[in-house]
């Protein structure tokens, strides 16, 4: 078996994440771990605990890729322990002596995962910004494109495609705001969350300043130690699910309303995309399918994070903490993949106004029954759009603010 074949997960069974998850790869997380150790040493210097200049020398020292880091992590139950051995082996003795001094493995790994999430979030938010811009464009363009609204799968009253896009836009804006406003904290508590080692190295006042200094070095939020208070992880997981769910709404609607017998909307085409291995006439809505796959997988992962939070006992969880790592990483992968694909989907999405009008007319005057029951006259489809323009304008204003 070749070296390439021994790489366990390249997204072969998760095409929604393939090519979009580099920011949460093993290599990216290892880099974050090193960055956290450098930031911690900078905080030690800034507090006056460690001599000045050590962190710069550490940052400038080439650290080769860690061979077998995952396998060696089995011995101590986490990757920080073997990584420290690698760092100390390649650093000058006076620098190595201060690496990780006063910290614990959970401080470094939790902070590295939040740093990784911070970096991945920036990519997700960039993709969501593109999706928001394109949904706003579609809502404005199609504010007069009438269609049959569907409730419980059946024709209900007339609506417009512009209002439909505005509704999707609002859902994505909510998810974007939740994710963007989320505080991602650094972790620093020492062996049992009391900062006792840092107190031993300095004094109580200096040790108390260290969490803020450390967080500032990483560009993360400051927080009291959260070794067993896992709200930062569950909140992040919930925000990521909100993203995949919002994008899943779009994908589900596109795949349904793009069915051959409905045909009101179509995904952007690309050479080789959407083909069938057995039926050459088919053009499958692959982008929507992949986004839906992420939306279906994500909620169960978030529930795992909540289960782990409930099992975070004593001052250091035994297994619950460890179960969070791959779960949170997978949620980040799904949000990265779904948001990347969603931006492409809505950018090239097309609406068939004639087909929408045809479908609207299938119900004849029955689709106007609500107005007739209220006023005694059916009116026209245009009479049913009501405040749709105002609702669209409100969504556009929010998107552009």
- Does position 21 have pLDDT exceeding 90, yes or no? yes
Q: Is the pLDDT of residue 372 over 70?
A: no
Query: Structural domain boundaries of the chain?
Result: 18-103+188-223, 104-186+226-401
Q: What is the pLDDT of residue 283?
A: 76
364, 352, 168: which is closest to 261 by C-alpha? 352
Q: Which of the residues 150, 316, 357, 371 is marked catalytic?
A: 316
Q: Which pLDDT score is estimated for 4?
A: 52
What CATH number should be reported for the domain whose range is 104-186+226-401? 1.20.200.10
Strand partners, 154: 151
Q: Give the rounded distance of the alpha carbon of 86 from its chain centre.
A: 31
Q: Where are the beta strands (DSSP E) in 248-364?
A: 265-266, 350-351
CA nearest neighbour of 395 among 53, 132, 181, 142? 132
Predicted pLDDT at 55: 97
**Between these two residues, 4 and 369, which has the higher pLDDT value?**
369
Residue 316 designated active-site: yes
Sequence-distant (6+) residues with CB within 8 A of 147 are: 158, 159, 160, 161, 164, 264, 356, 357, 359, 360
**In terms of pLDDT, which residue wins out, 1 or 175?**
175
Average predicted confidence (pLDDT) for the chain: 92
pLDDT tens track for 208-263: 999 999 999 999 999 999 999 999 999 999 999 999 999 999 999 999 999 999 99
Q: Which residue's structure tokens are 């493995």?
A: 105
Look at residue 386 in the predicted model and tell me its pLDDT: 75
- Which residues on neighbouring strands pair with residue 350, listed in sequence order? 266
pLDDT one-digit tens code per residue, 91-131: 999 999 999 999 999 999 999 999 999 999 999 999 999 99
| pLDDT digits 0-9 by tens, 25-77 | 999 999 999 999 999 999 999 999 999 999 999 999 887 676 688 899 999 99
Asked: is 18-103+188-223 a CATH 3.90.580.10 domain? The reply is no
Q: Tell me: pLDDT of 1 over 60.
A: no
Q: Please identify which of the residues 57, 259, 273, 276 carries the catalytic annotation.
A: 276
pLDDT at position 62, please?
83
């Amino acid at each position: 078996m070749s070296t390439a074949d021994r790489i366990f997960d390249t997204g072969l069974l998760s095409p929604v994440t393939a090519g979009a998850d580099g920011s949460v790869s093993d290599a990216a997380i290892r880099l974050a771990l090193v960055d956290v150790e450098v930031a911690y040493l900078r905080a030690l210097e800034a507090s006056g605990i460690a001599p000045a200049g050590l962190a710069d020398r550490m940052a400038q020292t080439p650290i080769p890729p860690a061979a077998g880091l995952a396998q060696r992590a089995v011995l101590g139950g986490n990757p920080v322990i073997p990584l420290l051995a690698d760092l100390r082996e390649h650093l000058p003795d006076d620098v190595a002596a201060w690496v990780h001094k006063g910290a614990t493995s959970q401080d470094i790994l939790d902070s590295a995962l939040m740093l990784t999430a911070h970096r991945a979030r920036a990519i997700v938010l960039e993709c969501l910004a593109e999706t928001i811009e394109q949904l706003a464009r579609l809502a404005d363009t199609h504010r007069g494109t009438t269609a049959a609204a569907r409730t419980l799968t059946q024709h209900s009253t007339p609506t417009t495609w512009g209002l439909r896009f505005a509704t999707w836009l609002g859902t994505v804006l909510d998810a974007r705001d939740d994710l963007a406003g989320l505080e991602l904290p650094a972790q620093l508590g020492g062996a049992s969350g009391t900062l006792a080692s840092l107190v031993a190295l300095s004094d109580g006042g200096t040790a108390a300043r260290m969490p803020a200094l450390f967080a500032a070095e990483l560009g993360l939020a400051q927080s009291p130690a959260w070794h067993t208070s896992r709200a930062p992880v569950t909140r992040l997981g919930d925000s990521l699910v909100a993203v995949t769910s919002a994008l899943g709404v779009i994908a589900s609607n596109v795949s349904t309303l793009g069915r051959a017998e409905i045909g009101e909307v179509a995904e952007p085409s690309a050479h080789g995309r959407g083909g069938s291995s057995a039926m050459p006439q088919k053009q499958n809505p692959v982008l929507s399918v992949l986004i839906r796959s992420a939306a279906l997988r994500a909620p169960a992962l978030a529930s795992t994070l909540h289960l782990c939070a409930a099992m975070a006992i004593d001052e250091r969880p035994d297994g619950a903490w460890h179960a969070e790592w791959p779960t949170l990483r997978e949620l980040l992968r799904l949000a990265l993949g779904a948001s990347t694909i969603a931006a492409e989907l809505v950018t090239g999405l097309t609406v068939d106004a004639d087909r929408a009008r045809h479908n609207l007319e299938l119900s004849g005057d029955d689709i106007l029954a609500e107005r007739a029951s209220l006023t005694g006259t059916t009116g026209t489809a245009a009479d049913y759009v009501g405040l749709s323009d105002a609702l669209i304008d409100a969504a556009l204003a929010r998107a552009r603010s």
